[in-house]
Amino acid sequence: MRHEILDAPNFGLLALTLQAGEKVVAESGAMVAMGPAVSVETKMRGGLLAAAKRKLLGGESLFQNTFTARESEQLLYLAPPVEGDLRVKELARGEVFFLQSGNYLAHVGEELVLDTQWGGVRSFFGGIGFFMLKVVGPGTLFYGSYGAIHEVPVSAGGYTCDTGHIVGFSDGLEYRVRPFAGFKGLFFSGEGLVCDFEGRGTLYVQTRKAPALAGFLHPFRRVQQRGN
């Protein structure tokens, strides 16, 4: 399998070339285009019960698609739903990476484990709070960001980040989720949560966040007619 990342960092697009028998698992809705000899199978992520639990807590979709090439040199284009960057991370056996659920795009490698972790704090306004995926190798992980990715080396002194702006972080960092001390605007500007980091590692920050966009768009939605 070959991969190439196009249009980054503005509209990262993953261009994969699959050989016969190769498989890629991707987030529901990620397919842009594909060659004629690629099959698609839709499954519930991790089985029915695990998927249901995850949907209630984690907010990512219940379903994922497995793309399998029946012939060689099949093109498969995948894209995240929102504008921004796209990165690849090769994980060695046992290597851990924490990724915000909404940033997951696709992965290769049947042994790669994706496990949902909850930040432990509900948002100030009663929302679901903050969720991360704990990704454990071996395997290849593809993820996107909303906006650009700003890398912050965390060391002595620590660092604080709005949870909506977290793409991911390396193993070895301690993290604690809490409400933000200042005023964050009305509900839709964000969950009102920040994450304090300590230890040594790398934090990946995205320069835009989904709840702010949702809040911006909310007044533009059509109003449900009563009695519909």
Partner 1 sequence: MKFEIQYRPAHSLAIAHLEAGESVRAEASAMVSMTRNLAITTDGPMGGRGGLLGSFKRAVLGGETFFTNTFTAQGTAGHVTLAPTLSGDMQAIELRPGEPLYIQGSSYVAAPDSVELDTRWQGLKGFFSGETLFFLEASGQGPVLVNAFGALETLELDGDVIVDTGHLVAFGAGIEYEVTKASRGWIASYLSGEGLVLRMRGRGRVYLQSRNPKEYGHAVGSQLPPRQG
Partner 2 sequence: MQYHIEHGPAFAWLRVGLEPEERIVAEAGAMVRQSSALEVETRLNASRKAGVFGIIVAFFVALLRRFLGGETMFVNEFWGPRGGEVVLAPKLSGQIMKKSLDGTRSLFVQRGGYLASSSGIDTRVRFGGLRTLFGGEGLVLLHCTGAGDVFVNSYGGITEVPVNGKFVVDTGHIVAFDGALDFRVRSIGGAKSFLFSGEGLVCEFEGRGTVYVQSRNLKALVGWLAPLLPS
Residues near partner 1 (CB under 8 A): 9-10, 83-85, 147-148, 150, 152, 157-162, 165, 180-186, 188-190, 196, 203, 205, 207-208, 212-213, 215-224, 226
Distance between CA atoms of residues 226 and 228, nearest Å: 6
Contact with partner 2 (CB under 8 A): which of 17, 22, 23, 35? Answer: 35
Give the CA angle between residues 19, 21, 25 to the nearest 5°.
Answer: 95
Minimum distance, C-beta of residue 152 to partner 1, in the bound complex (Å): 7
Residue 79 found at the interface with partner 2 (CB under 8 A): yes
Minimum distance, C-beta of residue 187 to partner 1, in the bound complex (Å): 11
Asked if omega into 138 is within 30° of 0 (cis), the reply is: yes
Residue 148 found at the interface with partner 2 (CB under 8 A): no
List, in order, residues 6 or more apart from 163 with CB less than 8 Å away.
119, 130, 177, 190, 191, 193, 194, 195
Beta-carbon-side half-sphere exposure of residue 34 (alpha carbons within 13 Å): 19
Amino acid at position 161, single letter: C
Contact with partner 2 (CB under 8 A): which of 3, 23, 77, 178? Answer: 77
Residue 29 found at the interface with partner 2 (CB under 8 A): yes
Tokens representing 28 are: 């529901």
Distance between CA atoms of residues 179 and 177, nearest Å: 7
Helix intervals (H) in 44-165: 48-58
Contact with partner 2 (CB under 8 A): which of 31, 96, 113, 152? Answer: 31
**Mapping DSSP to helix (H, G, I), strand (E, B) and coil, where does residue 54 land?**
helix
Residues 154-173 that bind partner 2 (CB under 8 A): none
Q: Which is nearer to partner 2, 62 or 112 (CB)?
A: 62
What are φ and ψ of residue 207, in 5° steps? -85, 0
Q: Which is nearer to partner 1, 47 or 219 (CB)?
A: 219
Contact positions vs partner 2 (CB under 8 A) = 6-7, 10-13, 27-36, 38-40, 42, 59, 61-63, 65, 77, 79, 81-83, 102, 187-188, 210-211, 213-214, 217-218, 221-222
